[in-house]
Structures are given as structure tokens and as C-alpha cells.
Structure 1
Amino acid sequence: MTVPFTDSTKFNVMISYSHQDSELMLRIRDLLTANGFDVWVDTKLKGGSNFFKNIGSAVIGCDIFFYILTEHSVASKFCQDEVSLARISNKKILPVTYCDPKDVAPEMDAGLRLILSCVQWICLDPKLDDEENDRQIVQSLNETLQSDLSDDSRLANYDIFFSEEESVSFPRSKSKFLRRTNSLHLVGFWTRNFGDSEKRVELKKVLARIEADYTYDYSRLQFEEAWALKALTFWCFDLERSATSITREQYDQFVFPNGKSEEQREMPDSFWVRCKDGFSVRLSMQEVFNAQSSVRYDSIQNLRQIKNKRVVTALCKLLRDHDPNIRAVACISLSYTGNSSPATIDKVSKLLKDVDRLVRESACVALGKFQSPGSVTALLDTWRNDMISDVRSAAVKALNIIGTPERLCRTK
């Protein structure tokens, strides 16, 4: 039987699957249970009330997110939402498949391909008997439970490939060598393209060098080129939309988020690996908080269990997303993370001037939850001047939660 879900239970393994693969799921569920794993899996058809109620909590509460990867699951919006939530929750993701990776990868969208590109797949052999494949599943799960989940460990698994035009010195049949074998790339991205003396570079030049250096790897992700290059760079460097250049300091902060020691050397592809990893978080966040997401609202409620720097940083960036629904949900989600730093309060306060009334109302709700005295002036201005009554009411509620003196909330 399926392990019953309760809010207080933490599961070793949560199984994500397409209901079209139910037979395979049941066999794997029974295998894991028989080998001592606590398993949570929703056996209802995707979209049932229990699914919507529990799925977000199950993903966030598990140790390993076990993804049954088939042509059905990569096409499932529900499965994509679950994988994305597992990514931003920093879960150990373990895909298992009988498919040839070359066959199933082209069916994935860019976000899913990015997420799964840095994890080890269990590729089962359909020619072997179930006992051999089952042994591999159990062994891989045990190894995953003991594995390191640090950034450095995860990022080390990303494959980086040559651009086609940069591999002309090699035989055509070997044009997909890993970049680290190329003598032209023994130094980091900034040094090899702009030199160590350059302290500021125009954004358009950085974009041009990203495109030139990583054409082949970039094309494998199947992004819409013009959109992705610009969005990737703005996202990774946390640039304002009006930015026209990038400083070496911004670059170093991105490549070495925990600080760079004097003896620390940048690996040739550290920059692009960070780009891919950061962009996978961006796409995952958009997938989870999109208006059509099946895990959106449950995720908001459960973000208080995550509270890691990666989530807070990503949510702050989503406050500038082009979609007002995502800006609004990111705003509310931030208030659940417990991060009420001055920088976060300032970013949320700016949304009180957003063109969308739902975003402004969400900003009021979030600032009230933060209980930040520093946001009182902005909330008072909203209460007095906003054209929408619901927004003004939300501002008053926030002010009352913060504990503003009664004379400040006196009606006109």
C-alpha cells in the first residue's frame, strides 16, 4: 500500500510519474518499500483533489525526488511542475528511465533539460531481467542518499561542449569534444575574452562572447536565441533593465558567490556552468509560480520550510518578471521565507508603484507580514493615493499589523 501522507511525515523518496506509466510506478514503489525506503506517491490520476492538496508538501518533504522519466512524463505539465519544485527546493533528483537519453531528451523543454543535465540518470536496460535493473535502482538510491548536495558537487556534473566554429582544428567527427580539452580555454571566460586589466565591459560585448564561446552547448538547450541570451545575462548578474555594462566585480560575485580567495583559480567554464545553473533556477521558478502551475499555491505555503538563500535570491529577481502574476506570487512567497532584510523590504516596497493592481495589493500583504517599520511611509502613501480601493484596504491592514500609531491611519 502507499504510505499515507501527513504533514509531520518526512519521506526518503517521493515518486513522480505520468499515470500512463502506472504499471512501472507500482513495480518500483513496491521494490523501494521492500528495501526499507519510506515512499510517497500519489496513485490518483493527476489533477485529483488529493494531488493538489499534497503534492507540494510531498516534494518539499522528501529526501530524494525519484522521477520516472518516459516520453509521457516529459510531456506532462504536472510532472514538469513537480521537477521544477524539486529543483528550487534543492532536492536530490534521481531520474530513472528505460528510454535512450538521445530519444527522450529532444522531447524535453529547455527548463527540464537544464535541470536534468546536472544529475546522474539511472538508465535501465530493457534487455536485462527485472532483478538486475532493480538492483541498480536500489544501489543508486542508496548512493544518492549519501551524496553531497553542495553547489560545487552539483555544478561539477554539468557537461560543457565546444562551439562548432571553435572546433575546426579537430576532425569533424570529433567536433563535440569537451571544452576543457581545448588549449584556448585554459583560463576563465572574462580573462580569455577581455583580459584581466579590463574592469568594465559593455553588455552587448558580453552577450556576443557568450554566443561565440558556447554556440554548440547553447543550441542543445533549444532556447529562443535572442530572448534567452538577454534574459540569461540579466538574470545571472541581477542587472537592472537599464544596465548597459557589466563590471569585473559583478562577474566575480557571480562566479564566486561565496567570495574568492587570492589563491583561488577560476576554472575555464565556471562562468557558463553558473549561467546554466542559475538559469535552471529561473525557469524552475517560473514553472512553479506560473498561473497554470499545479503546485503554485501549495508551494507558497511550504516555502517557509525551504528558506535558503537560493530561493530568496530567485524570488527577489522574479519581482521584476514581465508577468504580473509571477511578480505578485513571488512577492507573497518572499514573505513566507522569513527574509526581511532591508534589501528585500526595499525591493517589495518598490512594487507599491507597480502598474498592476494585484501586484500592488500583494506588496501590501507581504510588507504587513514582514512587519517592517521601514515600510510605513511607502504604505501610507499607497493608502492615501492609490486609485484602487482593494489596494488601499490592503495597505491599511498592513499598517495595522506593523503597529502604526492610530493617528497615522486616521481616515481623511
Structure 2
Amino acid sequence: MGSDGGYDVMIMGVTSDNELAQSLADSLTQDGLSVWTLNTNNNSKSKGNILVASKVLVNILSEGSTSCQECEDLISLAYVSDTPIFPVARDCFPAINSRLSFSMKLILAKINWMFFTNEADRTENYPILLSSIQHAIEKVNLKSENGDGNEDVTDERVYVIKMSQDEEKIEVSDRPEFWENRLRGLSQVTWPEFRDAFIDEYKEQLKESFPEHRQKWLINIIYGDIFDLHKMITKKMYTDFCCGIENDPDNFYHRILDYALGLLAMRSVFDMESTVRLDAVQNLGQFKTRSVISTLTNLLNDNDPNMRAVAAIALGKTGVKNYKVVQSMIRKLSDEDRLVREAACISLGHMRAEVSVRYIVALWRGDTISHVRQAAEVALGLINSPASQEALRMTRVLSDEMNRLK
């Protein structure tokens, strides 16, 4: 185990995968890495917390593990927390792929699989796996030393494409990127025009990766989450979303795919039935990537009040307080669900968002639920600005005067 209490490698599978898992663990240990498996005697932490503290996840893919909800939840948590994932397949690709859920197919399709279906495969592929894991750990260590991921997230529409573990590079192409190819010379188009051009341009990729109802879901994400339901789509809106990767004519499509994957993974992690939900909430202060912050902010408007409340709590734990996050959280102070209102209060308090004081005061003085009023008072104390202290003082004076009149 590392000095920080985490492992270099977490190996996850089901009981029927134990032989391969232990063989991998023994080999990786001999090569100087600390490894956790199902056989490791460490009952003090949940699997979710062990994953968050570990540097990489090796997930054994087998016909058994594809039906394991815990394995799927851990892969989703790894994706959300930006933990490198190494799928090691014990069975052949068709047998595994046919059993994977839609979200797992999308996530794992972007990552190179390593096949250990027989002894010859193991002998040939283990050195490649070891080298890839060592390289990923070096990058994790470097990121930790440099403090990457802790910056204030001010760009609302920047998403990082998760490349395969061997850092596959996008080949330079002379083909025009999507807007130049389909909408050249136009500074703006209507949403239906943009939508139809996108569907026509990527019909083969969409057909291959998305069932018909999921294609509609993806289009709704583009319209609602990315373009905020604007009837006119400007080139500036498009290029602001696309910034980052050069020489990729399909940059927009790749970024949309990455956003959709992040949304699916986040929903899986925060679902009420998720086996890692509490671990994710407890550790989300560490997850400050732009895609996580943006996805959480959008989840504040989810139809499920539990999802809205969890998103509010998680955003508060990240400590990020850019304009969009704060304004979105303020709007949740008037949510119809009292747990969402409470979570928004406490999160704004932890953010020390002074701009929210007057809204929290209004909630404190007007909400019919005592728990919400108490959360508002706590939030004002946490913000601890002159305005919040004056609001606390004045309201208490008025309360005392009213009590004397009774």
C-alpha cells in the first residue's frame, strides 16, 4: 500500500475471476506495485473508497462480471474520478460485448482491452499491460505533484476527451471539420438545420454506437445541455464548445460523445441503487475536472429530486464557485423539494457565495419547513460576510421583539 493509504492498482472482478485476479496481483506485486484484490484483507474501507484512493483500476471482464452491478458502478466511478481504467478480458469479445449495458459499451469502447483468454495470451500481453499501468501511474503521480485538477473551473464548456490507455493520437487530417464542411460561410443556423446536418454527417457512427431511442437522447443533450435550447446556433457557440483539440475534423462529435459518457457515468454513480453512491458523494471534493463540474451543474435540473440534491451536495464539496455554478445553486433555493433547498443552502454556505446572501435570507425568513430554515441559518453563518452577519443580527432582533409581544 502506498504512503497515502491507497494502492497502485485495484483489481476488480467477481468470484469466478479470482484465479486470474490473483495471478495478475502476484505478478504486479513482484514488479513492485501495491495491489488490491477481493482477497486483500482490508475491511476498513468500502470498495468505492479503495478505488478513489487507488491510482488505476484493472477491471476483469468476463461473462460473470458483466452482470455484476458493483463492477459496473466501480467502472462508472473510475470514469467520473478520472482514474485510468484497464479492461482485462477473460472471455472472448462477442461473449462479453453482448452482455454489456449501453453505458458500459460506450465507456469501454473508448479504452483498449487486453485479452487474457489463455496462457499464451497472458504470457504475450502481460508485459504490455504492466508497461501501460506503470506509465499511467507515472502520469497520476506527476499530476498529483503538480496539483493538476485543483484549479478554479471557469470555462463552462470545456470537455477533455478520454483517450485510450496507450495514448492513441488522433491522426492529422486534411478533411474539413464539421462546421466548415457542412455549414461553411454561415455565422449562424437554426437548430433544425444544425441538427439535420449533424445527423447526416455522423449517421454511420450514430447507427453503430446508439440504438434509435438513444440517438434521440443524444440529440436532446446537444440541444438542451450544450446549446441551452437556443433556437439559433451560432458558430461562436459551436467553436467555444469545440476548443482544445487541433487537427481533429470530428472534434465536435468526440466532445459530445465524451459529455454523454460523463453524464451516463454520473447518473450511474449517483443513482439511489448505486453501490458506490455514498463513496462518490464523500470523495467528490477531489473530482474537480471541468466535465465533472459541468455535468453536476446540469444535474441540478434533473427530474429526480434525489439526483438534484446529490448534485448540489457534490458541487458544494468540490469547492468550485464559478458564476454558473453559483447562479444555478441559487435557483435551487426555490426548488419544490425541501431536501434540494437544504442542500443548496449548505453548499452555498461552504462556497461562501456572498452574492447568495439575500436569497438565503429570504428562504430563512419565509420557508415553511423548519429544516430548510435551519439550513439557511447555518449557510449564513458559514458565509460569514458583513452582509450575512447583519442579516443574522437583524432577523434575530426582530424575532426577539416579536417574542416579547406575544
TM-score class normalised by the smaller sequence: 0.7 to 0.9
* CA shift in 2, pair 1:36/1:127, >3 Å: closer
Moved over 6 A (4+): 147-150
The structural deviation recorded for 1:229 is 2.7
Work out which of the residue numbers 224, 227, 234 in structure 2 matches 1:247: 234
Alpha-carbon separation, structure 2, partners of 1:153 and 1:19:
30
* CA shift in 2, pair 1:106/1:254, >3 Å: farther
Moved more, 129-138 or 344-353: 129-138
* CA shift in 2, pair 1:152/1:130, >3 Å: closer
The structural deviation recorded for 1:108 is 1.6
Alpha-carbon separation, structure 2, partners of 1:328 and 1:257:
32
- What TM-score do the two structures reach when normalised by structure 1? 0.81
Aligned to 2:102: 110
Alpha-carbon separation, structure 2, partners of 1:121 and 1:226:
25
Alpha-carbon separation, structure 2, partners of 1:365 and 1:395:
7
The structural deviation recorded for 1:37 is 1.0
Alignment of 1:397 with 2:397, yes or no, is no
Query: Percent same amino acid among aligned pairs?
Result: 29
* CA shift in 2, pair 1:36/1:256, >3 Å: same
Cα RMSD of the aligned pairs, angstroms, is: 3.1
1:3-402 pair list within 5 angstroms: 8-43=4-39, 50=43, 53-126=45-118, 128=120, 130-145=122-137, 151=160, 154=163, 157=168, 186-195=175-184, 197-223=185-211, 224-225=213-214, 227-234=216-223, 237=226, 239-240=227-228, 242-257=229-244, 266-402=247-383
Q: Is there any run of 5+ residues in structure 2 with no aligned partner, and where? A: 144-158
Kept after mapping to 2: 8 A contact 1:236/1:275: no
Deviations 1:178-232 (A, max 9, x none): 9x99xxx91111122211x222222223222232222232233334235423333
Moved more, 142-151 or 301-310: 142-151
Kept after mapping to 2: 8 A contact 1:114/1:277: no
The structural deviation recorded for 1:96 is 0.6
Aligned length: 373
Kept after mapping to 1: 8 A contact 2:88/2:116: yes
SS of corresponding position for 1:293: coil
Alpha-carbon separation, structure 1, partners of 2:175 and 2:80:
32
Kept after mapping to 1: 8 A contact 2:58/2:85: yes
Kept after mapping to 2: 8 A contact 1:119/1:157: no
Kept after mapping to 1: 8 A contact 2:319/2:350: no
The structural deviation recorded for 1:257 is 4.6
- What TM-score do the two structures reach when normalised by structure 2? 0.82
Output the amino acid matched with 1:73: S
The structural deviation recorded for 1:295 is 1.1
* CA shift in 2, pair 1:225/1:10, >3 Å: closer
Deviations 1:339-375 (A, max 9, x none): 1223321111110111222211111121122122211
Alpha-carbon separation, structure 2, partners of 1:152 and 1:77:
26
* CA shift in 2, pair 1:286/1:10, >3 Å: same
Output the amino acid matched with 1:220: E
The structural deviation recorded for 1:283 is 0.8
Kept after mapping to 2: 8 A contact 1:201/1:246: yes
The structural deviation recorded for 1:408 is 3.6
Kept after mapping to 2: 8 A contact 1:319/1:328: yes
SS of corresponding position for 1:187: coil
* CA shift in 2, pair 1:382/1:94, >3 Å: same
